[in-house]
Structure 1
Amino acid sequence: MDHSHHHSGMSAMDHTSTPAPPHHHHPPATMGPHSHGQGGGSAHTMPMTFYFGYKNVGLLFSGLLIDSAAAMAVAVVAVFLLALGYEGLKRAREALLRKAQERLRAQWSSFSRSDRTCPKETPKQQLLSAAHLLQTVLHVFQVGLSYLLMLIAMTYNAYLGLAVVAGAGAGYWLFGWKKAEDSGALR
């Protein structure tokens, strides 16, 4: 078939014509866990349903490829610990914030009731305080960790997804009770 008629008389900037439909058909990509093309490049297809598998499972980075049951077991334990740590980090940030609030209350109550001219920090001092800088660094770490856990769950690998959920549940069980106790819910 001669395709030269598509190019005659058209400038490179002509956006009014529609492109010709392709003249060849590629079969749809398989929906297995991951398929790798032959030749120079590799083609990944993302599974769109949960699956139990441990062969050719990509984990976050191109160099992290799970290809055995032992590698999957190590990945499951690591993901579980990441999710557990995420819950612990959330609790640690709440505890640090509560201590900072208690410290401010103690400073305020140390002044006599007749003299309520407690010197307050300026917004710039608060912004540059060590406590606020620590909270900021921990917040950035927490957000990064939460996105990593989300991306792990989005692999649709059921083993890894269950590790995220189980780690979050165990983390809440280990660290969440203290939050409930602090709020008075367990009294």
Structure 2
Amino acid sequence: MDDMPGMVMEPPSSTMEHPMMTMMHMTFFWGKNAEILFSGWPGTRTGMYVLALVFIFVLSLLVEWLSHCKLVKPGSNNLVAGVIQTFMHAIRVGLAYLVMLAVMSFNVGVLLVAIAGHGVGFFLFGSRAFKKTETVPYQKHTDLPPISC
């Protein structure tokens, strides 16, 4: 198995009776045979791979929606608004980490749908394409601050 570039062999577990070597991609690859987020999922079935891609697209779309939505009403109780903002932030970060972990499967299809989900999400929720009024610079339009690295 040493002749397969970009693959890393994981050592067998000492608790396994018949150790099996599993392989993990360490470079980007095309193909439907992948593991995304969970062991054995989507596996080798094309339908499950497509479902995984749709799932990643929706996750990244939700991250953008949470980044640009306004759920806290002006004039609401500061404590209630703070709890809502904290909950929204935790959900957004959790979803963003799931998208990141999915991209770390090194599957090109997953990378492309994650980028597409963020792009479509920004177009729908963050761009001026569907805004009714002109935005004023430096005015707060969302409940959460932008995600930064």
TM-score by length of 2: 0.71
Q: 1:138–1:48: structure 2 CA closer, same or farther, 3 Å change rule? A: same
Report the identity percentage: 31
Per-residue Cα deviation, 1:54-73 (whole angstroms, up to 9, x for no partner)? 12x11112252331222111
1:177 aligns with 2:127: yes
Tell me whether 174-183 or 66-75 shows the greater mean CA deviation: 174-183
> For 2:24, what is the secondary structure of its paired residue?
coil
Q: How many residues align?
A: 130
Q: Is contact 1:31-1:47 (8 Å) kept?
A: no
- Report the structure, 1 or 2, having the larger helix content: 1
Q: Is contact 1:50-1:157 (8 Å) kept?
A: yes
TM-score by length of 1: 0.58
Of 146, 154, 157, the residue aligned with 2:96 is 146
Q: 1:42–1:143: structure 2 CA closer, same or farther, 3 Å change rule? A: farther
Could you tell me which amino acid in structure 2 is paired with residue 59 of structure 1?
Answer: I
CA distance in 2, matches of 1:88, 1:33: 36
Q: Is contact 1:86-1:145 (8 Å) kept?
A: yes
Q: Is contact 2:61-2:118 (8 Å) kept?
A: yes
Rg larger in structure: 1
1:45 aligns with 2:35: no
Deviation, 1:28, is 4.0
1:136 aligns with 2:136: no
Alignment of 1:79-158 (within 5 A): 79-92=56-69, 95-96=70-71, 99-100=73-74, 103=75, 126=78, 129-158=79-108
**What's the Cα RMSD here?**
3.1
Could you tell me which amino acid in structure 1 is paired with residue 98 of structure 2?
Answer: L
CA distance in 1, matches of 2:25, 2:94: 24
Equivalent position of 2:36 in the other structure? 59
Of 70, 73, 86, the residue aligned with 2:50 is 73
CA distance in 2, matches of 1:48, 1:78: 22
Q: Is contact 2:61-2:117 (8 Å) kept?
A: yes
CA distance in 2, matches of 1:175, 1:83: 12
